[in-house]
Amino acid sequence: PQWTGAVSSYSRKYALQGLFGIADIDVDELELEQQAFKKKEEVKSRDFNAEIMNAISKEQVLQIAKEA
């Protein structure tokens, strides 16, 4: 009975997803993934060496190194 119930539950889920065009991924998770991807792209585009060379204090250098 438990196995049959699990199969029935999954089949209903995927049938409704197909019928209504609902994505398999949660919308909240998708937004978090997009934010993380955007942050990674920002980090890749930064010139950390130039930022460190222009840093005024040790704290600034440590903060830049932490972000890198």
**Residue 2 scores a pLDDT above 70:** yes
Domain boundaries, the chain: 25-68
Tokens (6 digits) for 23: 């994505």
The model's pLDDT over 13-63, given as tens digits with 9 standing for 90+, comes to: 888 888 887 777 666 677 778 888 888 887 777 777 788 778 888 888 888
User: CA-to-CA distance for 66 and 68, rounded, in angstroms?
Assistant: 5
Provide the Cα torsion 17, 13, 27, 23; round to 10°: -30
- The reported pLDDT for the residue numbered 3 is 81
